[in-house]
Structures are given as structure tokens and as C-alpha cells.
């Protein structure tokens, strides 16, 4: 009996998706709940598991095609996979003395496949294009000879081998020759672009800045990081301090946690903080729910879990919806100062930046201190400059004197 494989229900407001890559081909045996294919929407990547065990009978939609919810994309024939016929034994060569040489050669030089002609996943395609690599010369270890991200990273780390260099196209003879590459945006990248334009066109964005001395936070992390990690099995990072400081500041200035709906201001009496995570496919913002009730360890644990899900392409739509405020950290990439863009329908976003040692005047003396610029971009339609400035001051006070986070000041 044949069973249809259909595109699962897509997230709300999403009408179509892109079939990224099949993990099986017709004739392959499949087990129930085994992932058959990845489907990319403008928000998340969905896995389509096999509903039954059997054999993949037919693939109706190829890689790269556009699909909609409930579209039939393949058929599975229930039952056991047919046994493969044994291949006839190759006739022995007359020169028996050459056989040991061939055998020894095969032991020392295993055959390698390359990614030539195989469809590339979004993360692999992006790596190849960014570094101008030829996928045809990169050894591939994935299923059916597909390139994996690990293959590309390993190739870049080791550098091209001599055979790869020999197969590589010669450099242009003319000095100063220029080339152009045109690459279609992924659904997620197109959606990010759409939302950024929407944010700029529908909000009155303004950015205020302050700076924070992170010496006290760094001292706490240095003193307790080993014990913290042993007890909670998660690393004590900076983000938990910023999330907890943001909650305190939002409680003091609730309009920063509000949103605009028609002619109304909607105040949220809960604190769901989005934390921006960078992936190969783009920026995603998983949401930590009820951050006022979370411990430092719970904040760090949830961030680490969401980051892994995002980078593995397994983030769910419910993980990235419904936040009331966002924190983003450009400092991990070396950014010293920036003006982040609001994530609608939220009304503000806090930007963290690189920690830079600078000479500061402390109690009348010049000292070298670990300083960070912080930025708050806000919707000036409902948030006045006074609220924005006082919000940043509250963040600064909490981080420069972390005891305030413990005694509720």
C-alpha cells in the first residue's frame, strides 16, 4: 500500500515554502519518523518525517521547488525494502602479481567523492559563495555524495590539495578583470529584508546611547564561573546580566515594553525578551518567556538551547514569536557602536557592543576600565527621549552595581 508524503501545515501567514533537499532517493528504505526532506519557509526550516516504514517509491517534487501546505511531494510503499542483488564477481586478471599492489593502493588511497553536480543546502551554498570556492573539488562525505558544512570548513582549514588545485580553473589572464555573481535570496533573507523595511517605514525610530563599566560584572564572572558551570552545567555569560537588567529597567519604564496597535498603546505586564542569534541562514530572535521569573542559570540555559536549535535549523515558529523587547549583541563580531533596528511589533531594542578598555576618570583618577557602549533604538511615537535615557541609565546602574539585581533596586 502506498502512503502519500505531504507538506506539513505552514506557520500562520505563510502560504508557500521551498523544498530545500531530499535526504532519501527513490528505492531507499525509510524508517518511521526518519527525516525525509527539509522545507524552508521565510521563518523556519521544517523537517518532514516518514509517517510509516517502507521504501521511498516516488519523489514528485525536486529540490528547489516551491510548495504549499498539504501538497503531495512523495510516495512511500509500506513494507520491507527489497534486498539488493549481489554484483557478479569481477574476473581475475591474468597477472596475479599485480593484485597485491592494487590492494595496497586501495588501502592507502581511498576513493573520494566530491560535491560536483549535487544540490547544495542553504548553509553550504552560502559558505561556498562567500569564499568563492568550487564545490566540484571539495571532498564530500554527506549522503549520496552531498557536501556538508563540515566538508567545506575542513577544506578551507586545510587548504586545497594538489589535485584540487590542478582541477581548479586558471585565474583570469587580464589583470584587474572583474566578475559578478547573482544569487537569489533565501526565503528567510527575503523576509528579514521585508521586515526591516517595514520597521523603518512604520515606526519613528530614534537611538540613544550610554556607556557601561563592566568591571563589576567581569569580576563576578571571574570569581564564580567555574562553580556556576559545575552546578548548573551551563556557562555564565554576559547575556544573563543584560537580560535581568533589562527586565528591571522595563519594570521601571513600562512604555519601553509596550507596543502600538492602531491608535492604542498596549502595555505588557509580562517580560518576554527576544535574544538575537546569528545563524548561517540569517538572524533569528528566539524568545525567553517570563524572564522576571527566570534565574541566571535558566536564562543562560535557554539561550544556549535556542542557539543550538537555530544553528541546527530546528528552531520552531513558536520559539521566535511573541516577544515584547529584544536584546542584540553585535559585540561578539567586534562592533563598537551601532543603531539596531526595532523588531515589530515591539517598540524598542537594546544593542550591546564590544567591551573595550578605555581610560576613564574614576574618583578624580584616570583608570583603565572595561567599557561598553549600549544603544536603545525606540519608537518615538510612544516613547519619549526622557524614558529612553532613563531606561539606559537603569541598565547602566544595574550592571555597574549588580547587587541591585538581587535586592530589587
Helix H or strand E encompassing 201:
helix 187-202
- Burial state string for 311-332 with b = 16 or more CB within 10 A and e = fewer than 16: bebebeeebbeebbbbbbbbbe
30 burial type by CB count under 10 A (0-12 exposed, 13-18 middle, 19+ buried): buried
Is 108 an active-site residue? no
Is 380 an active-site residue? yes
Phi, psi of 362 (to 5 degrees): -125, 115
Beta bridge partners of 348: 378
Q: Which residue of the set 28, 232, 280, 380 is catalytic?
A: 380
- CA atoms of 138 and 313, how far apart (whole Å): 23
Contact indicator for 361, 189 with CB cutoff of 8 Å: no
Helix H or strand E encompassing 246:
helix 239-252
Bridge-based pairing state of the strands 277-279 and 282-284: antiparallel
Bridge-based pairing state of the strands 348-352 and 325-329: parallel
Question: Nearest to residue 61, comparing CAs of 17, 12, 13?
Answer: 17
User: CA 224, 228, 233: angle at the middle one, nearest 5?
Assistant: 155
Residue 233 φ/ψ region, left for φ over 0, alpha for ψ in the -120 to 50 degree band, beta for the rest: left
Q: Which residue of the set 33, 227, 384, 401 is catalytic?
A: 384
Contact indicator for 68, 6 with CB cutoff of 8 Å: no
**Active site (catalytic) residues:** 380, 384
Amino acid at each position: 500500500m502506498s502512503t502519500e508524503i505531504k507538506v506539513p501545515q505552514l506557520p500562520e501567514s505563510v502560504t508557500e515554502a521551498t523544498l530545500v533537499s531530499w535526504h532519501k532517493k527513490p528505492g531507499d528504505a525509510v524508517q518511521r519518523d526518519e527525516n525525509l526532506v527539509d522545507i524552508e519557509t521565510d521563518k523556519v526550516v521544517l523537517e518532514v518525517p516518514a509517517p510509516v516504514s517502507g521504501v521511498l517509491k516516488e519523489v514528485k517534487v525536486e529540490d528547489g521547488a516551491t510548495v504549499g501546505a498539504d501538497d503531495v511531494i512523495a510516495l512511500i510503499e509500506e513494507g520491507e525494502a527489497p534486498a539488493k542483488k549481489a554484483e557478479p564477481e569481477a574476473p581475475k586478471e591474468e597477472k596475479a602479481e599485480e593484485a597485491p599492489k592494487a590492494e595496497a593502493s586501495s588501502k592507502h588511497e581511498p576513493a573520494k567523492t566530491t560535491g560536483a553536480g549535487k544540490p547544495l543546502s542553504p548553509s553550504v551554498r552560502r559558505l561556498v559563495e562567500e569564499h568563492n570556492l568550487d564545490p566540484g573539488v571539495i571532498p564530500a562525505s554527506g549522503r549520496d555524495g552531498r557536501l556538508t558544512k563540515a566538508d567545506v570548513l575542513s577544506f578551507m582549514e586545510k587548504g586545497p590539495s594538489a589535485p584540487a588545485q590542478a582541477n581548479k580553473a586558471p585565474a583570469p589572464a587580464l589583470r584587474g578583470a572583474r566578475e559578478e555573481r547573482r544569487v537569489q535570496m533565501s526565503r528567510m533573507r527575503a523576509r528579514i529584508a521585508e521586515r526591516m523595511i517595514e520597521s523603518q517605514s512604520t515606526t519613528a525610530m530614534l537611538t540613544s546611547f550610554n556607556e557601561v563599566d563592566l568591571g563589576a560584572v567581569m569580576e563576578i564572572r571571574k570569581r564564580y564561573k567555574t562553580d556556576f558551570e559545575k552546578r548548573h552545567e551551563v556557562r555564565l555569560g554576559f547575556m544573563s546580566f543584560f537580560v535581568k537588567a533589562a527586565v528591571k529597567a522595563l519594570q521601571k519604564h513600562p512604555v519601553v515594553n509596550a507596543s502600538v496597535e492602531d491608535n492604542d498603546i498596549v502595555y505588557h505586564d509580562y517580560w518576554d525578551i527576544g535574544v538575537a542569534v546569528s545563524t548561517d541562514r540569517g538572524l533569528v530572535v528566539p524568545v525567553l518567556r517570563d524572564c522576571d521569573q527566570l534565574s541566571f542559570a535558566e536564562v543562560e540555559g535557554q539561550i544556549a538551547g535556542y542557539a543550538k536549535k537555530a544553528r541546527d535549523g530546528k528552531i520552531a515558529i513558536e520559539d521566535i514569536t511573541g516577544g515584547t523587547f529584544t536584546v542584540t549583541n553585535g559585540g561578539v563580531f567586534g562592533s563598537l557602536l551601532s543603531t539596531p533596528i526595532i523588531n515589530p511589533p515591539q517598540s524598542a531594542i537594546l544593542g550591546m557592543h564590544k567591551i573595550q578598555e578605555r581610560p576613564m576618570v574614576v574618583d578624580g583618577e584616570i583608570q583603565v576600565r572595561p567599557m561598553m557602549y549600549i544603544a536603545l533604538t525606540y519608537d518615538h511615537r510612544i516613547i519619549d527621549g526622557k524614558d529612553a535615557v532613563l531606561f539606559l541609565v537603569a541598565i547602566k546602574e544595574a550592571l555597574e552595581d549588580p547587587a541591585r539585581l538581587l535586592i530589587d533596586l
